[in-house]
Each structure stands twice: as structure tokens, then as C-alpha cells.
Chains A and B, each alone.
Chain A
Amino acid sequence: MSEKNQILTDRQLLDMFYYMLLARRSDERMWLLNRSGKIPFVVSCQGQEAMQVASSFALAKGVDYTAPYYRDVGVVLTMGMTVKELFLQAFAKAEDPNSGGRQMPGHFGHRKLNMLSGSSPVTTQVPHAVGMALALKMKQQPAVSFVTLGEGSSNQGDFHEGLNFASVHDLPVIVMVENNQYAISCGIEQQVNCAKISDRALGYGIHGETVDGNDPVAVYTAVKAARERALNGEGPSLIEAVGYRLTPHSSDDNDLTYRTKEEVNAAKEKDGLIIFRQQLKKQGILTDELESGYESKIKALIDEATTYADEAPYADEQTLFDGVYHQ
């Protein structure tokens, strides 16, 4: 890791750590709000912050386009969604820029941030990101599109159709599969029978690679290189980031019906956030003061966002018919 560190400055490493911590603490707060009856639903990023934040750091904010999926708290925060906006969507309030409270939490989309609006049926975002890349290529824009999905979702037809299209037309799109080893209750062995999701790249004739999703520098390096290839006209990349889902699938799930506490605890030992923190500390990049400064700044931000979002009004029922068609 020390060698790879030269790719990123200390400042960048600290920023990455800050956003990983921000994503984790935001997610933890949402669970508290859920368990205290304040918000009916949470779908979590915990265990995937490293891959989400690091991949987004390799993109150009305000230039590249993203199509995040429902766990991507780390992606949306890094790409510029504010904590207040994140909590407005968790509380489904009118001011939520993602959907004005129309969608469930975790359904992101923010035009100002070049973030495509996503739905619940999985993998529909892959062809959209490919289409965005097609438009960028047609308009000769120096930008890429970046799309994420779970490993289970890579079994949908949209995944294959999208990647094949992107390959045939050498489109500037980066597809990152966040392999957290589970699709709700089904382990990876019930989803695919190949060693790596990235092996599928061979079938599309594109670059494929698997990286340790708990290692932010490895993820950053892979996505950065994919972006350069895309901008050079070398087409799409399929990147598989391997991690683990540390929480149940969602607040409606009980994960102990299909996996053991021991397995989850073992995965916590490899938690990218914890390991990165230890490494930065060992290298003297992250000090105790810096860390406690981050923690208190984040807590203040989340407290403020929670109160604001809690008190904000819901959309008025008069707005039910708004936006069915152009008005």
C-alpha cells in the first residue's frame, strides 16, 4: 500500500477517508432513525464505502456522469450530494432533490450533479449509462459515464445487453460491480458459477478486472485507469470490487436466517474503513486530532441534517399529478 500511496497525495487520502467516514456515520444514523420509527426504510452502504468513495474520487466531478445504485451513499456524497440532501431523501420530504420524496430511500438521482435517476428494478441503469456514454461520444465530450450494480444484478439481461452494446461501439463507460457476496439471502455461489464476475468481460471483448473493494487505493487505481482508457477511445471496462455487506439486505431483512454472526464478524475484521484508518494512522497521515475533528464535524453535519429533514414538510397532496407530462 505504501507504494501505491504515491498515486494519491496525503490530502487526497485524507479526503477519501473523510468521505468513507461520512458515508458510514450517515448510514448508521439512518438505522437509528429506522429503529426508532422515524423512517420506514433503510438500505445500507456499510462495508462498501471504500469501493464507492474511491471509485468516485477517480471521476471528474461536474464532468462525468454517474448512475449509482441503491447502496451508493459513498458515491453520491463524493459526487457532491450534501448530507442535508441525503437525509431529505431518507425522510422523503418535498425538498429532496432525488425525487421530492416520491421514491423510497436509496433511489438516487440529481441532475445538477450529472447523476441519473434510478428505479427499483435492478440493472436498468446499465443500458442508461451506456446510452449516456453513446451521447458523450457522439458529442465528442471528454467525459465518461460510471455505473454501479450488485453482483446478483449482473445476471439480468440488461447487464449483458448493455455491456455488449458498449463494447461494439467502444463507448466511454465504466461498469463497477460491487460484489458484496450476497443477493439478499443468496450467496454468490447461487448467483454465478464463474470464479470472478470480471471474467465475463472476456465474452464482451472488453477490459475486465477484479480488485479488493476494501482497498480504496486499489479501487481508485483501477477506475482511474479505466477512465483514461475510456477517454482514449479504448471502450468500456468492467471492474469488480469485492467486499462484504455488513448489514442485513435492508431494514426489512433478518440476515441471520441465512448467514451466521461469526461470518459477519469475520468480515468486519476486513472492513475497508477500519483497515484504511489503521494504515493512514500507521503512516502518520491520519492523526488522532484529525480523526476526532472529522468525527465531530460529521456528527454536527448529520445532527443538523437530521433535524432539518425531520422538520421539513412532505410534498403536498396537490402535487400528486405534477410531472406526469411536460407542463
Chain B
Amino acid sequence: MTVMSYIEAINRAMKEEMRRDDDVFLLGEDVGKRGGVFRASEGLYEEFGEARVIDTPLAESAIVGVGIGASMYGMKPIAEIQFVDFILPAVNQIISEAAKMRYRSNNDWSCPITIRAPYGGGVHGALYHSQSLEALFASQPGLKIVMPSSPKDALGLLKAAIRDPDPVLYFEHKKAYRLLKEDIPDEEVLIEIGKANTVREGDDLTVITYGLCVEFSKKAAEKLATQGYEVELVDLRTVYPLDEQAIIEAAKKTGKVLLITEDNKEGSIISEVSAIIAEHCLFDLDAPIFRLAAPNVPAMPYAPPLEKAFMVSEDKVYEKMLEVAQY
């Protein structure tokens, strides 16, 4: 076992996969000599050289599009987008091309690319360095989206994403990078894509979330336990396609459900989770489905009071849990 931060786990996953398979390579802005603006690729340029750790021109559509082309040859590119906010110039490549490649060629071509991007708020990043954009891609069959909530998951899910035969979007929370640390086995860690994880068991209410909100929820659940309410906490891990079975079972178990995301509420990942529960669990519910999310304003403002008002936090989670528990 070794204590690792979330960003160290990401770094380890890339190193291990690049050592294991010569076809794996990294491309993106400032990923080489600088080791990434957050240092996620620290040491990779030194170990694997500039041919496999490629500093690209500043053009996201090319980073993804070139990655797609190389993956069609059989390479295993990891395309890094510096902030998920800057993935938008590449959306055409992701949605028109990566998502549809296998289907449109009737299984003739495929595109095993991993697209990594930091997301999330609470870091004074303002409108364009704080967003959660997973919902944008979560209605596109052909894509998979994973969003780890812990260092161990960050390691196991990234390795699985790189090995996956289809395009995977891997969104990593930038606030989690150095905030979260845990003991991780030194042996290989692989976590299956498409499977949710029960982080905590309880009988009083079910909380389903993902990403950094899992951490807020873990802490809030501990506090809630002192009030006599036990939370069943499910981490989606893969937010698209969703693990329907796990969602249904968890909702049925307690009959009270709170869904949490730091993304805007409307049309979010948890909107779909809510629809799944509504379809399958109507007669098992003892309360309406509750959602806690960012307000419907375009993105997180910079000034601290506004950022705080926008961002989901441990306190906001706790208050909402208590409300649901007492319903």
C-alpha cells in the first residue's frame, strides 16, 4: 500500500499503461516539459520522450480529432484537454465522430481514445475554469463517461478507460487533485467501467452522486449518523451509460432518495437518474425524489460570495440530507 493523492493516482495510471503498452501515448497542451498545468503528467516526458508525450498546438478540435485518427490505426491515445471548459471546440469531433465511428461503419472501424479533462468548481476558477460538462455528452450512445471520486477509483478507472475498445471521456475533479489522498494497493488496480459503487451502507435514506460530491456526502453522512440517520451512499463512477440496476436497488432499499451533482440541475446526470427511479421504483418510494445541484445560472461566478452561493458543499449536502431523512 502507498498513500497517493488523486492526481498522483492519475499520473500512476498513465505511467503503468504506457509501460505496459507501447501504443499508449499522451497528447495535449503543456503535457510535455511542463508535465501539465496541474502536473498530472509529471515525469512522463522524461520517461517516454517527446514522441509519446506530445505538446500540441493550442487547438482542441485537432487534439481530439488527431487522437481519433491515430486510434483508428490502432494506437491508444490519451488526449488531455487542459480544462473541460475548453473541450467545446472539440465537441464536433467527439459527438459527430468518436461517438458514431463504430456504429456508422457497422463495426468496421473503432476509436479507442481516452479523453481526459479536469472539471469542477470551488477553486476560484470563475465561469470558464469551473464547469461540469458531463451532461453535454451523456445523451450520446457510443461514448462512455467516467468520473472518479477517490484516488483508488481514479487509478482503476483511468487504466480501464485506456484499455477500453471504445471512446471514454474521463473527467477528473481539479479540486480533488490534492485534496483527496488514500492508501492504494501497489499491485494492479482495474475498476470496471459501467459499475456503480456502494460507498456506505444505511437504511434511512439513499444518496446517489458522483465526483467530488461523493466526498461531501461521505462527510455529511457521518455527521448525519450522529443524528440517528444512516445513509446508503452510491457513487455512480460511470455517469454514462448509467448502472441502472445499482440505482434501482439503492432507491428501493430505503425508499427515500437524494440525488446530488455540482452541475446545473436541469438536464443533468441526476435528472436521468431520477427518471430511472421514477420508472422503476414508484411503489417503493416513501418520499418525492430530491435533487441538490447548482442553481440554473450559466456558470460559477468568480467573486467568493457568489462562488460559495453557487457551489455544492458539505454543509449544503448535510442540510438537504437532514431534510430528506425527516420527510
Contacts and interface: CB of A to CB of B under 8 A. Distances in A.
Interface of A: 40-41, 92-94, 99-104, 107, 119-122, 152-153, 155-158, 183-186, 190-192, 252-253, 257-258, 314-317, 319-321, 324
A121 B88 contact: yes
Consensus secondary structure, chain A interface: loop
A314 B305 contact: yes
B305 A184 contact: no
Nearest to A249: B37
Interface string B54-70: 01011101100000000
A320 B301 contact: yes
8 contacts: A40-B124, A103-B302, A104-B129, A121-B89, A185-B30, A186-B32, A317-B306, A321-B297
A158 B126 CA distance: 23
A79 B208 CA distance: 51
B309 A317 contact: yes
B125 interface: yes
Contact of B61 (A102, A104, A157): A157
B170 interface: no
A258 B33 contact: yes
Contacts of B88: 121
A92 B306 CA distance: 11
A252 B129 CA distance: 13
Given A92-B302, A184-B37, A314-B304, A157 B59 contact: yes
Given A190-B55, A191-B58, 11 more contacts: A101-B301, A103-B302, A104-B129, A121-B89, A157-B61, A184-B29, A252-B37, A257-B33, A258-B33, A258-B34, A317-B306
The 4 closest A-B pairs by CB, nearest first: A120-B128, A185-B34, A101-B303, A317-B309
Contact of B126 (A104, A156, A324): A104
Given A41-B124, A257-B33, A314 B303 contact: yes
Contacts of B129: 104, 120
Contacts of A317: 305-306, 308-309
Given A102-B303, A185-B33, A324-B298, A152 B127 contact: no
Interface string B270-308: 000000000000000000000000011110011111101
